[in-house]
Amino acid sequence: MSLNHDVIGLESEPVDKSWSSTDTLLYALGVGAGLDDPTAELAFTTENSAGIGQQVLPTFAVLAAQAPGRRDLGDFDRAMLVHAEQSFELHRPLPPSGTARVSATVTGIYDKGSGALVVSQARAVEPESGDTLVTSRSAVFIRGEGGFGGPRGPVADWSEPARPPDHRVTYRTRPEQALLYRLSGDRNPLHSDPVFAARAGFPRPILHGLCTYGVTGRALLHTLAGSDPARFAGMSGRFSAPVFPGEALTVSIWAEGENATFRTTREDGTVVIDRGTAVIRPA
């Protein structure tokens, strides 16, 4: 088995991707909105509440910027692929329903020894005006595909502030959270099929990394941006450990003006999203 390095630097053909009000509502539920208090996040979970207009969680931007088709990365065991990193820049709030024209480029395939890190960048634009809606960068780690002698890739500069977090926010997840989140488009059986999860070395299906990412984004939105998606400019983080559906997640946040750093942990203290950063626009 080997990866196809010829895809590096080749931009995909633009593809129009549409979403509906139902899609954005389902996404919000999939990342836990309204779980403990069904009335607390009605702007993101309903479209017909009195005096409340529907809004879209900022982390939905990652889904809006995902092209329906993926480049052929070669022949490898899909059970060995995990989401490693995710960042996005949201240029303006997304509407509850809409269409974006999406193109993507594999920007690098890096040799990490035990596996390969495949990094991609996507851009979603408004089809009529060409204005950029979302710029997204993601990386996947494919175990067993390293050792090909390539570069190890750049190292991002990040350090934990030398003080206690300014905020700690804990959200629980449902035992069936992955079954709900997968309805937003990621049907990878790693998150639903015990047999497939066992092939990947897990005792049971794990939660989608982007679901953990969305739960974390809710904590950042409500804590730092006053629940206003227009103030949420971007977010990045590295997935460092799996989460099992039903586990609670704690987001530790260090606020620094318009920027913030964060880290997300499981109940036992295991870090599941590391090297987190967020950019919040002024009120």
Catalytic choice (16, 72, 111, 186): 186
Closest CA to 171 of 44, 264, 55: 264
Query: Is 186 one of the catalytic residues?
Result: yes
For residue 155, how many C-alpha atoms fall within 13 Å in the half-sphere facing its CB?
Answer: 4
Catalytic choice (36, 75, 131, 191): 191
> Secondary structure of the chain in the HEC alphabet?
CEECHHHECCECCCEEEEECHHHHHHHHHHCCCCCCCCCCCHHHHCCCCCCCCCCCCCCHHHHHCCCCCCCCCEECCHHHEEEEEEEEEECCCCCCCEEEEEEEEEEEEEECCCEEEEEEEEEEECCCCCCEEEEEEEEEEEECCCCCCCCCCCCCCCCCCCCCCCEEEEEECCCCHHHHHHHHCCCCHHHCCHHHHHHCCCCCCCCCHHHHHHHHHHHHHHHHCCCCHHHEEEEEEEECCCCCCCCEEEEEEEEECCEEEEEEECCCCCEEEEEEEEEECCC
Active site residues: 186, 191
